[in-house]
Structure 1
Amino acid sequence: MTRVHPRHVGLAPAIALVVLAAACGAPDEAADGEPTPAETATGEAEQETTLRLYTSVTQDTVDAVTERFQQANPNVTLDVFRAPTGELNARVNAERREGEIQADVFWLTDPLSMQPFAEQGLLREWTPANAEAIPEAFRTDTFWGTRLLNLVIVARDDLEATPTSWDELAGHDFQQPVALPDPGFAGSAFGALGFFALDDRYGFEFYETMADSGVTQVQAPGEVVSGVAEGRFSAGMTLDRMAREAEEAGSPVQMVWPEPGAVAVYSPIGVLATADAVEPAEAFTEFVLSVEAQNLIAETGWQPANPEADWPHPTGDTVSPDWSEGFARQEGLLEKYRAIIGE
């Protein structure tokens, strides 16, 4: 059984929406008669356990992965709290003030949001059996990449001059303003901030140029896409999945894979050092990294971090922050961004 909690940040009891797993019978088996990764995830243990997952990952992706894991492990009850990065962090901070974080697993949007927990010793140090399937650039000793969020340009499809690079987006001269998602709200935007602020080609001058050109900040990447589609913005920064889906649905937008590359942010998963359900937590993490779960992630529109998984969509060059430098400076990054763009 999977319990999915509505978004909230306090610790008062909330009415939970209980969602039964799609199947409660015997687990499926692979074609050759061997158990699938999800089926072997928790070994032979039959003791009923509650696994608490805190996540900022999109709902359909979480549902696809947790339901498959649940089908194969009916002895594990998944208790899921899902919220945007800022709200999730507020809940975690509130729980720490009350005594202890209640989660067993964090599955977050970006590594800059995960790193503070690692630095404070809140994440368990261990090595998933399939950790090496994830490229070295997308893993640490305590958390591992599960999917790639590529930040791209979304623009009106009727612009006379479509921006093809980040520089052209920043120094825009369009009829309507350019939109940016808030890095204090959206983890992917925080990852983009890490890239632009720390890269020698851009620095905070990138955001200063944006501000001088009259940029508009919205909360989330999805609001950028809807605002461009409605004509309130000429272009903006958003996630490839959202721009692609809008374009395929017939919205008057186009996705642009910008020069010198889309900003690739990896979405990490890690087990809490204080986890009550250690074995199921580690099993769930290994399942999320498996080709089986990575294919499920791809089916929901996100590029899987495991290169062995199927990915049908064309991509271009990517750039990423210097994560180690970003980890060391992230508090100051958001403060300086706010001084330029505003709250």
Structure 2
Amino acid sequence: MPATRVPASIFLTGLAVLTLAGCAAPAGSADPSASVDPAAEAPATALEPATITLYTSEPQEKADALVAAFNEIHPEVTVEIFRAGTGDLTARIAAEQESGDIGADVLLAADAGTFENYAADDLLLEYTPADADKLDPALVDPEGFYTGTRIIPTVIAYNTSLITEPPTSWADLTDAAYADKIVMPNPDVSGAAAYNAAVWLDEPALGEEWLTKLAANKPVIADSNGPVSQAVATGTQPVGIVVDYLVRELAAQGSPIAVAYPEEGVPFVSQPAGIFADTESPEAAQAFVDFLISAEGQTLAVEQSYLPVRSDVGTPEGAPALDDLTILAPDLETIRSTQDAAVETFRDLFLK
């Protein structure tokens, strides 16, 4: 089934109803009548002391901030962080699956397709977190094995000191003018990049023909989105394919970098969270997942430049209105079944 061009106001209905009017507002600036004051919520019930391990692709500083904020609510829970790129995380989990001992209690990374695979292998605990009803249903697994925690589109970034007329479409990037000027992440490392490869190949307006033409421009392949954004910000490569929040962060810090949302549509991942079925501390793990989509957790997500998954916490400064975007929303089962082949196609075109 080909990817569908769906306006975000349709695809993310629950979010759009309350947030569209304020999507370009600064963090925490949602309509007060619709907002939730995290401090006004009932205090959490203390849990039995426990230690859980979080596997995540979040940058270390952001993961540390997540845990610190969670510990303000649940100081009795120790969260140990193992941080790596999504490709490294999935490889580690595969090795642990073979040995019969998954080392993590909670996974926060990647895309829904990855979690669907883990659920199919009976690796995940069935759990629908508190406040899941405040999220768009498209971001919550109906069987309860995982929940989206951020909306992370992949876009075109460009250095404003070097590019005067930025590309406005994925097709623009195949122009010979961009030869040797593009940088993009490696799908062997980045879960978002692996997902994107499958989405692009499934999209009729793009497909393998577009990917082949893009490869002819010889993009630099960086390990992950972080190095991509840095390369664009420093001008090492003037154009990049990268997740949007990194561009906002660097622009806010004064870097000459801006974002273009391609007219064909943007793929996005929701960085789900799920709990491994063999966790020895299910209540602590559940409390951590609850926190991620709570008003407190989502307010922190906005402060960290992410588009939130709930509508009552504002949006990052400089973020676009969701109804101004076209979302590439392919059939999830199609992406699951084709992602490995899509990554192999990417390797053949870009890495050999």
Give TM-score, length-normalised by structure 1. Answer: 0.83
Q: Secondary structure at the match of 1:320?
A: strand
Q: Which of 240, 247, 251 lines up with 2:255 in the alignment?
A: 251
Comparing both structures, which one devotes a greater share of its residues to helix?
Answer: 2
Report 1 or 2 for greater relative contact order, CA contacts < 8 Å, sequence distance ≥ 6. Answer: 2
Residue in 1 aligned with 2:87? 86
Cα drift, residue 74 of structure 1:
2.1
Q: Output the amino acid matched with 1:179.
A: V
Q: Unaligned 5+ residue runs, structure 1?
A: 1-28
1:318-329 alignment to 2 at 5 Å?
A: 318-322=326-330, 323-329=332-338
**Conserved 8 A contact 1:183-1:190:** yes
Cα drift, residue 260 of structure 1:
2.9
Sort the Cα spacing of 1:197 and 1:57 in 2 relative to 1 into closer, same or farther, 3 A: same
Cα drift, residue 51 of structure 1:
1.6
Residue in 2 aligned with 1:180? 184
Sort the Cα spacing of 1:177 and 1:82 in 2 relative to 1 into closer, same or farther, 3 A: same
Cα drift, residue 122 of structure 1:
0.5
Residue in 2 aligned with 1:296? 300
Q: Which of 194, 206, 212 lines up with 1:202 in the alignment?
A: 206
Residue in 2 aligned with 1:109? 110
- CA displacement 1:159-214 (0-9 Å, x = unmatched): 24321111112335136421121111111212221221111111122210111222
**Conserved 8 A contact 1:57-1:109:** no
Q: Output the amino acid matched with 1:114.
A: F
Q: Output the amino acid matched with 1:320.
A: L
Sort the Cα spacing of 1:265 and 1:72 in 2 relative to 1 into closer, same or farther, 3 A: same
Sort the Cα spacing of 1:197 and 1:80 in 2 relative to 1 into closer, same or farther, 3 A: same
Q: What is the distance in 1 between the residues matched to 2:53 and 2:91?
A: 17
Residue in 1 aligned with 2:15? none
**Conserved 8 A contact 1:191-1:321:** no
- CA displacement 1:142-172 (0-9 Å, x = unmatched): 1110011121111122324321111112335
Cα drift, residue 44 of structure 1:
4.5
**Conserved 8 A contact 1:175-1:234:** no
Q: Secondary structure at the match of 1:191?
A: helix
Q: Unaligned 5+ residue runs, structure 2?
A: 1-36
Q: What is the distance in 2 between the residues matched to 1:106 and 1:275?
A: 11
Residue in 2 aligned with 1:331? 340
Sort the Cα spacing of 1:93 and 1:161 in 2 relative to 1 into closer, same or farther, 3 A: same
Q: Secondary structure at the match of 1:78?
A: strand
Cα drift, residue 331 of structure 1:
1.8
Q: Output the amino acid matched with 1:324.
A: E
Residue in 2 aligned with 1:7? none
Do structure 1's residue 231 and structure 2's residue 230 form an aligned pair? Answer: no
Q: What is the distance in 1 between the residues matched to 2:104 and 2:241?
A: 32
**Conserved 8 A contact 1:148-1:264:** yes
**Conserved 8 A contact 1:176-1:232:** no
Cα drift, residue 272 of structure 1:
1.0
Residue in 2 aligned with 1:139? 140
**Conserved 8 A contact 2:111-2:271:** yes
Q: What is the distance in 2 between the residues matched to 1:186 and 1:175?
A: 23
Q: What is the distance in 1 between the residues matched to 2:79 and 2:297?
A: 16
Q: What is the distance in 2 between the residues matched to 1:72 and 1:124?
A: 23
Moved more, 151-160 or 77-86: 151-160
Q: How large is the RMSD of aligned CA atoms in angstroms? A: 2.1
Q: What is the distance in 2 between the residues matched to 1:252 and 1:95?
A: 43
Number of corresponding residues:
308
**Conserved 8 A contact 1:264-1:318:** no
Q: What is the distance in 2 between the residues matched to 1:175 and 1:233?
A: 11
Cα drift, residue 265 of structure 1:
1.4
Q: What is the distance in 1 between the residues matched to 2:38 and 2:253?
A: 35
Give TM-score, length-normalised by structure 2. Answer: 0.81
Q: Output the amino acid matched with 2:154.
A: L
- CA displacement 1:243-294 (0-9 Å, x = unmatched): 1222233323322222133322111001111111111111211111112110
Q: What is the distance in 1 between the residues matched to 2:175 and 2:39?
A: 55
Residue in 1 aligned with 2:96? 95
- CA displacement 1:28-48 (0-9 Å, x = unmatched): x9765x53xxx42xx344x32
Q: Which of 280, 283, 286 lines up with 2:284 in the alignment?
A: 280
Sort the Cα spacing of 1:210 and 1:175 in 2 relative to 1 into closer, same or farther, 3 A: closer
Do structure 1's residue 310 and structure 2's residue 282 form an aligned pair? Answer: no
Q: What is the distance in 2 between the residues matched to 1:163 and 1:30?
A: 40
Q: What is the distance in 1 between the residues matched to 2:308 and 2:62?
A: 11
Residue in 2 aligned with 1:156? 159
- CA displacement 1:68-126 (0-9 Å, x = unmatched): 22122222111221111122122222322333102111111322332321121101123
